[in-house]
Structure 1
Amino acid sequence: MPLHSDIARVTDRIAERSQARRSRYMEVIRAQIDKGPKRAHLSCSGQAHAYAGAGPDQAALATKPGPNIGIVTTYNDMLSAHQPFERFPALIKETARAEGATAQVAGGVPAMCDGVTQGETGMELSLFSRDVIALASGVALSHNTFDAALYLGVCDKIVPGLIIAAATFGHIPGIFLPAGPMTSGLPNDEKAKVRQRFAAGEVGRDALMEAEMAAYHGPGTCTFYGTANSNQMLMEFMGLHLPGASFVNPNTPLRDALTQEGARRATQITHMGNEFTPVADVLDERAFVNGMVGLMATGGSTNLILHLPAMARAAGIEITLEDFADISAVTPLMARVYPNGLADVNHFHAAGGLGYLIGSLLEAGLLHDDTLTVAGKGLERYTREPKVSGDRVVYEPGPRESLNDKIVRPVSDPFQKTGGLSQLTGNLGHAVIKVSAVDEARHVIEARARVFHDQDSVKAAFKAGEFTEDTIVVVRFQGPKANGMPELHGLTPTLAVLQDRGLKVALVTDGRMSGASGKVPAAIHVSPEAVDGGNIARVRDGDLLRLDARTGVLEVLEDGFEAREPVVADLSANSHGLGREMFEMFRQNVGLASTGAAVVV
């Protein structure tokens, strides 16, 4: 099938816009490739330092020419998504030895969980942890002794941070190895109902705790389709996972076999072999367009609208909100996974999953098939399904039909004709909205504003019974410069209760929501943000606002609105406590949310 004309047009537009930046980037990468890794050129003392802790691999590193694989790991045992990585280095090293190669843990990088810090001070460090992860990965790889890298990461800011590093070190090959989702627990819709009942005061904390523990019960990624699982989708669509690797549960024979196959493949695509595949050649504009198509087709996380532009910039590519909107307009919504439906990612995977979606989108001409991937040339490889044969991975043809049309549908009969994310513009600036879970009757909201400067004040007003009519809740001074742009996911149950009571409600904020944002319309990432004097700082209680997801409009319907002086807030309390002091330089130097809220690229 020929490539869809609109997908081709957006790709060409990105390539043209990025030409100068991409050319400079590739010049640097080609120069690094020409120099090659320096392991063999280090002084004897330098090599001895690098090999001293390598145990059984010490002699091979010192005397044999085989490739050396650097492992960048986000392992910790506090977070379920990253706990399985404890076993990965041993599997990788054992496999590398069998291939005549070596592997070393190059470094560990931090991984924090937005689910733990939701509504807490630590959430103000969350977005910037992406940049910390990128920087820490840079330190891990700075010894320049590796012929390829394996990146072990899953969750919200972790994968984007690792991608920024992988692109920066784009002269070496890199493969991303996921941990996989935890097995299914309490259904997500039942958990959400308990959260809403708790927000309404109908059940106590003991019932809430019981529901949460039944939902999050073991190792692996949370099973709803939030940012973590959107990241995993992205890595397959962009060709940085092995085919079919994303949604295989931890600590299973197939998961272990895929980890070992990833290590084996890493040894094959170094500069020492015949399939040299540096990350820079994988991460071109076509790969990023494929990633955006995947995001729209699956109704993925709004957080990726922040992360994808930042990731792309690290590879010399410039993506705008217009690109997301234009791709959304021609990409059908093919999946319903919680919070956009009742199924979790395990059900999605069983119904055909990413292999089925990629195959259907390729047949419809909505994806670039000619991309270079870590598995070889062509995205068609990602329609195959991995199986275990002995201790090796073998691939079989994947499903060509949906195995459950309540979860996954073909391009010809989608859940919606367009993707799940839209751009909003108007006199409030630029924003985005995720509409895949929002009832069509709520795609247009026109109501008076209630203005707040933090989410706790919204909850207090709710408990005081102050919301009695249709309302657009405006929460400002929540952008990256103001306080690190914490997620406001804690507002979802409160606003959902108001909506269930029959009110028309919406959220407008310069902050962000989770990939778990659901059925309440939310215009997020408003840019410029309030602390920069953006027009959201000019909104007053009682102003009439219009949020129109159908036409892409977000505006204040008041004469003289833009002539008002912007409100200035006292943000001094955001600068200290739980490490916020150390992140002042990030707040001062961060870019606009509309361009990825980037610091290090």
Structure 2
Amino acid sequence: MSAAVHPVVAAVTDRIRERSAETRAAYLASVAEASGTAPARHRLACANLAHGFAAEPEAGKLALRGRVKPNIAIVTSYNDMLSAHKPFETYPPVLKKAVARAGGIAQVAGGVPAMCDGITQGRAGMQLSLYSRDVIAMSTAIALAHDMFDGGLFLGVCDKIVPGLLMGALSFGHLPAVFVPAGPMTSGLPNSEKAAVRQRYADGKATREELLEAEAASYHSAGTCTFYGTANSNQLLMEVLGLHLPGASFVNPGTPLRDALTRAAGERAARITRQGGEPTPIAEIVDEKAIVNACVALLASGGSTNHTLHLPAIAAAAGIQLTWDDLADLSDVVPLISRMYPNGSADVNHFHAAGGMAFFIHTLLREGLLHDDVTTIMGRGLSHYTREPVLRGGDLSWEEGPKESLDHAVLRPADRPFSAQGGLRVLRGPLGTGVIKVSAVKEEHRRVTAPAIVFDDQDDFLAAFAAGDLDGRDFVAVVRYQGPAANGMPELHKLNPALGVLQDRGQQVAIVTDGRMSGASGKVPAVIHVTPEAALGGPLSRVQDGDVITVDAVADRLDLDASLAGRVPSGRAASASEWTGTGRELFASFRRSVGAADTGASVFGAILPTGAPGEPAHDARDPRLEDSVVRTA
């Protein structure tokens, strides 16, 4: 089935292992220390244990008193405002029954917040979005901290929720973990049509009523949004990491197969505990090879740029040091084999129908681009995931998936890809280091040289667009002071329609920012996550209007035809209101302690790699005071 591992994939894996030797060993030592020969609950004092089962029926109390039955924690991101998480409303009783059938018991251990970037776009709440990932990780740890559990079921789908759940689960690496998806909503208004209405609205050619009707026709029911953004990238990566059941990621909610997979997840969680006979702690699943597999899958699928933040943070939670250089080197050899919006017109339902995860993993294994010799919740070998689930007479089983794509416009074999290289590139130069998603950018737009127009806020850009100040000129928009330490690194997705209008008029345009542009980064070249960020004195803070910038996604360069020597940071002075209201005042400690983008933008600490030879190293100043992110007028 699997070919010999590609030499670059092997080399990147080896250097990650060597780089991470000390931190990984420390992590595994902590996991070993937390492990025991008996259920953790039996190390609790009697009063502690009695609190843990006080609300259980008599049968549950008896089970939790004993040593035979594993107790599975359910950690859920359910809320009924968000379509992707609405299906989780009914999951806990279903999972409890499934765990019981497998000889265990389950308790809802806690809930985690789940916010939606789609709702908070352009709003103050977006400044909490990236921070919420680390809050979710901490919330997960709190749920598991009662020492009542022998394994976990983690219910999450969207942007920061799944990475946060995984980071929290990894802090209890001695416990088995099964991640339980909810599936995408059925296809509504095609994403390309929705984007066209957005662009017409930005150009003043569609009304608000027309725009709202298009949005409602696209986002229309329970389930994940169907475009290939961060939420669906999460699902694909969880399956490639071996934390989902095979083929579980993209089955629609409310279908018999979805329901059967949910029950099977509960049963599997019980069986991979020590008491269940197949002990599979998550620390054994998420290792260096698994992290590389996730990187390869992200690149091959043209996945969300947000994972250039999440994957280093997830890796760090397992004691593994992943860098953007690793992603860049993998991107040179990993082909782009899927086209889903915004990289094409199809959505994840079309991807699933074309062969889905079973074919996607099969073709990458066949070309030696994935490690097969990894541990998964199904056992040893990623080849378990070339199978797909089927219902026959009400019974769930797995059969070998397709060995050919059923739609080459959506999913192709790795030896006949859409592009020989992956969908993400890392650009470097005197302005710092940033990421660009090129899978949706036409080749003629992958190199832009134009004067800079500098903005300190996305609303300033939109005001300039509305006033016609950006018409008829080529430019590179520099939108700065949007990094993790400045204001939480909000997505700037609202800028895409306006930039698309200008590009369609024949202007050469690009954007360079220390903020994010969302998992739906589109056709306009966008160099994002630029580090060091402006608020910490990075080069973007010294760029001026008229400086000529080159965005070159072919040569992987981010260049400036001007000298920054002697310039001091400039920009609009920040007001206190930027950090108050909508709960932002509660996150001052996050702004002071958050790490750099290329180490995961996490508050948990990270090892900062030095810059490449001849490139600026990371600004090592520690933003321990709020004043450190106040801009000078």
Q: Is 1:538 aligned to residue 542 of structure 2?
A: yes
Shift of 1:53: 1.8
Pick from 380, 383, 387 the counterpart of residue 386 of structure 2.
383
Match of 2:469 in 1: 466
Match of 1:52 in 2: 54
Pick from 128, 139, 148 the counterpart of residue 145 of structure 1.
148
Shift of 1:60: 2.4
The 5 A counterparts of 1:9-408 are 9-34=11-36, 37-55=39-57, 57-63=60-66, 65-408=68-411
- TM-score by length of structure 1 reads 0.98
CA contact (8 A) 2:68 2:275 kept: no
Shift of 1:412: 1.5
Structure-2 separation of matches of 1:168 and 1:43: 23
Structure-1 separation of matches of 2:404 and 2:68: 47
Shift of 1:362: 0.3
Cα offsets for 1:527-575 (capped at 9, x unmatched): 00001000011110011000100111001111x2243112254233321
Structure-2 separation of matches of 1:392 and 1:228: 29
Shift of 1:68: 0.6
Match of 2:491 in 1: 487
2:547 is aligned with what amino acid?
A: D
The 5 A counterparts of 1:389-428 are 389-428=392-431
CA contact (8 A) 2:70 2:276 kept: no
Cα offsets for 1:390-414 (capped at 9, x unmatched): 4442001101001000001111211
The alignment partner of 1:330 has SS state of coil
Shift of 1:513: 0.8
CA contact (8 A) 1:261 1:392 kept: no
1:394 is aligned with what amino acid?
A: S
Q: Is 1:508 aligned to residue 523 of structure 2?
A: no
CA contact (8 A) 2:427 2:435 kept: yes
**Which 10-residue stretch deviates more, 258-267 or 47-56?**
47-56
Cα offsets for 1:327-374 (capped at 9, x unmatched): 111000000000100000001100011110100000000000000001
1:512 is aligned with what amino acid?
A: R
The alignment partner of 2:173 has SS state of coil
The alignment partner of 1:203 has SS state of coil
Shift of 1:38: 2.3
1:478 is aligned with what amino acid?
A: Q
CA contact (8 A) 2:456 2:571 kept: no
In the superposition, relative to structure 1, how do residues 333 and 45 fare at CA in structure 2: closer, same or farther (>3 Å)?
same
CA contact (8 A) 2:127 2:487 kept: yes
Match of 2:432 in 1: 429
The alignment partner of 2:178 has SS state of strand
1:599 is aligned with what amino acid?
A: V
2:421 is aligned with what amino acid?
A: T
Cα offsets for 1:499-552 (capped at 9, x unmatched): 000101000000011111100000000000001000011110011000100111
Match of 1:600 in 2: 604
Cα offsets for 1:77-108 (capped at 9, x unmatched): 00000000011111111111222210000001
CA contact (8 A) 2:39 2:67 kept: no
Shift of 1:389: 3.2
Q: After TM superposition, what 4+ stretches of structure 1 lie above 6 angstroms from structure 2? A: none
The alignment partner of 2:578 has SS state of helix
Tell me how many residue pairs correspond in the alignment: 600
Structure-2 separation of matches of 1:568 and 1:208: 34
Match of 1:522 in 2: 526
The alignment partner of 1:34 has SS state of coil
Cα offsets for 1:417-476 (capped at 9, x unmatched): 100000000000110000000000111000000000111111110111111211100000
Cα offsets for 1:238-280 (capped at 9, x unmatched): 1111110100001111111111111111111112233210000
Structure-2 separation of matches of 1:300 and 1:562: 37
CA contact (8 A) 1:590 1:598 kept: yes
Structure-1 separation of matches of 2:303 and 2:129: 19
CA contact (8 A) 1:535 1:562 kept: no
Match of 2:621 in 1: none
Structure-2 separation of matches of 1:37 and 1:273: 12
Shift of 1:179: 0.5
- Gap runs ≥5 in structure 2: 606-633
CA contact (8 A) 1:309 1:318 kept: yes
Structure-1 separation of matches of 2:578 and 2:271: 48
1:296 is aligned with what amino acid?
A: L
The alignment partner of 1:292 has SS state of helix
Identical-pair percentage: 57
The alignment partner of 1:515 has SS state of coil
CA contact (8 A) 1:531 1:568 kept: no
Pick from 4, 9, 24 the counterpart of residue 6 of structure 2.
4
Shift of 1:137: 0.6
1:553 is aligned with what amino acid?
A: R
1:496 is aligned with what amino acid?
A: G
Shift of 1:52: 1.7
Structure-1 separation of matches of 2:493 and 2:464: 17
1:84 is aligned with what amino acid?
A: P
CA contact (8 A) 1:477 1:569 kept: no
CA contact (8 A) 2:354 2:407 kept: yes
The alignment partner of 1:150 has SS state of strand
Structure-2 separation of matches of 1:306 and 1:574: 23
Pick from 560, 564, 569 the counterpart of residue 561 of structure 1.
564
Q: Is 1:441 aligned to residue 444 of structure 2?
A: yes
Structure-2 separation of matches of 1:420 and 1:352: 20
The alignment partner of 1:348 has SS state of helix
In the superposition, relative to structure 1, how do residues 392 and 146 fare at CA in structure 2: closer, same or farther (>3 Å)?
farther
2:474 is aligned with what amino acid?
A: D
CA contact (8 A) 1:439 1:519 kept: yes
